[in-house]
């Protein structure tokens, strides 16, 4: 997913951070004496099964909202507009 929206440099940083997080989790579990093959599999599978999510950068859409709008308010407006668009498209 990140490959689609992030620059190459940002992608490299993202993947390094994810690897470090997984490495730390494995290391911490191992230091506590609880690292088994099953736990390694569970940790790695959990990383692979992250739900798909969409995150929009604030900068390209901020211009369409009043400065006082919070991200939650912007999300609400976007969802409302998408519902209307979908209804119009399906109808």
Mean pLDDT over each residue of the chain, to the nearest integer:
79
Based on the domain organization, do 64 and 43 belong to the same domain? no
Q: Cα dihedral sign for 24, 26, 29, 32? A: negative
Mark whether 75 and 65 lie in a shared domain: yes
State the DSSP code for 65.
Answer: S
- The count of structural domains within the chain is 2
Q: Is 38 found in the same domain as 11?
A: yes
Alpha-carbon distance of 27 to 4, in angstroms, equals 31
pLDDT of residue 47: 63
Taken in order 70, 64, 62, 5, is the CA torsion positive or negative?
positive
User: What pLDDT score does 1 carry?
Assistant: 47
Over residues 44-76, the pLDDT tens digits come to 777 656 666 777 787 889 999 999 999 889 989
The arithmetic mean of pLDDT across residues 77-85, rounded, is: 93
d(CA 63, CA 22): 37
**Residues 38, 4: Cα–Cα separation, whole Å:** 33
The answer on pLDDT for 18 being more than 50 is yes
10 and 45 assigned to the same domain: yes
């Amino acid at each position: 997913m990140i490959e689609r929206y992030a620059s190459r440099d940002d992608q490299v940083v993202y993947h390094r951070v994810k690897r470090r997080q997984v490495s730390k989790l494995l290391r911490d579990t191992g230091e506590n004496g609880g690292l088994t093959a099953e736990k390694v599999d569970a940790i790695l599978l959990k990383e692979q099964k992250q739900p798909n999510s969409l995150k929009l950068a604030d900068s390209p859409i901020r211009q369409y909202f009043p400065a006082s709008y919070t991200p939650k308010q912007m999300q609400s407006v976007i969802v409302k507009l998408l519902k209307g668009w979908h209804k119009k498209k399906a109808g």
